[in-house]
């Protein structure tokens, strides 16, 4: 039987991208130096923000900074892999701080494991998650439902995944999501509503919490983790001086 390892889960609620990034970088430093003894998962919802990664092409950002600001959307350049993406209300964003030396020292393996975990989570909603050859993320029936972009130092990861749950998909019209031309974005809510035309099934008001639990379960099964909740105050105490949101 495979040995399980602890996974500390901290819910950040709604937090700005900058504050969450500072927190995950602090957690990654602590994981590298051993102050944080176990793998950590930060779960968060961001106010509207478009982030650009190391592979972003300028042509994939379709609005000017002033036009983004007019829509109340922040623009943020980060050190993760991948192209441009959107984070905002109704989206479950996860930042796993994982020491791959305790799993497998292979970033491609790690990306595929994150995809597998999200595919398992979607199965809880009877949504058939799938991969797209040569691309990172999760799709369903050719529509993209989750984006993934990571960074690592000394085999400790940060950044992570964004799963569209009840996201306003019109925000993705401001960019070429993940640099994929003609991609159609979707969400759990959208897929359930699409199905409800035949089955009379409508999304549950508790969809956000259901998605959270499904993702935690998918990650736990995929990585052989035992999830344990760690309040934000307790995490901050472990990390020391971290800027308050």
- Catalytically active residues are 178
Q: How far is CA 88 from CA 10, 112, 204, in A?
A: 19, 24, 20
Residue corresponding to tokens 């998909």: 169
Task: Please enumerate in sequence order all residues whose Cβ is within 8 A of that of 205, keeping only pairs 6 or more positions apart, or say none.
Answer: none
Give CA angle at 223 (219, 226), nearest 5°: 75
Phi, psi of 9 (to 5 degrees): -115, 120
Nearest to 220 by CA among 5, 1, 2: 5
User: 56: Cβ–Cβ under 8 A, 6 or more apart, which residues?
Assistant: 77, 82, 83, 84, 179
CA neighbor of 60 nearest in space, from 182, 222, 169: 182
Q: CB neighbours of 53 closer than 8 A, spacing ≥ 6? A: 78, 79, 80, 81, 82, 83, 84, 85, 149
């Amino acid at each position: 039987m495979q040995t399980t390892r602890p996974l500390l889960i901290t819910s950040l609620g709604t937090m700005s991208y900058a504050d969450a990034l500072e927190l995950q970088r602090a957690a990654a430093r602590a994981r590298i130096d051993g102050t944080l003894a176990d793998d950590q998962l930060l779960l968060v919802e961001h106010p509207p923000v478009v982030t650009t990664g190391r592979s972003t092409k300028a042509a994939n950002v379709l609005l000017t900074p002033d036009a983004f600001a007019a829509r109340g959307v922040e623009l943020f350049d980060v050190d993760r892999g991948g192209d441009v993406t959107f984070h905002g209300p109704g989206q479950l964003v996860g930042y796993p701080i994982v020491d791959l030396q305790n799993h497998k020292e292979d970033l491609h393996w790690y990306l595929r494991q994150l995809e597998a975990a999200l595919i398992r989570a979607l199965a809880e909603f009877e949504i058939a998650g799938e991969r797209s050859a040569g691309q990172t993320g999760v799709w369903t029936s050719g529509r993209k439902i989750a984006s993934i972009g990571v960074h690592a130092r000394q085999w400790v990861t940060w950044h992570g995944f964004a799963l569209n749950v009840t996201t306003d998909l019109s925000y993705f019209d401001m960019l070429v999501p993940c640099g994929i031309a003609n991609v159609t974005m979707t969400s759990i809510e959208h897929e359930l509503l699409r199905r409800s035309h035949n089955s009379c099934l409508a999304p549950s008001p508790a969809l956000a919490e259901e998605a959270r639990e499904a993702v935690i379960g998918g990650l736990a099964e995929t990585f052989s983790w035992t999830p344990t909740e760690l309040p934000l105050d307790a995490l901050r105490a472990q990390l020391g001086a971290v800027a308050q949101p």
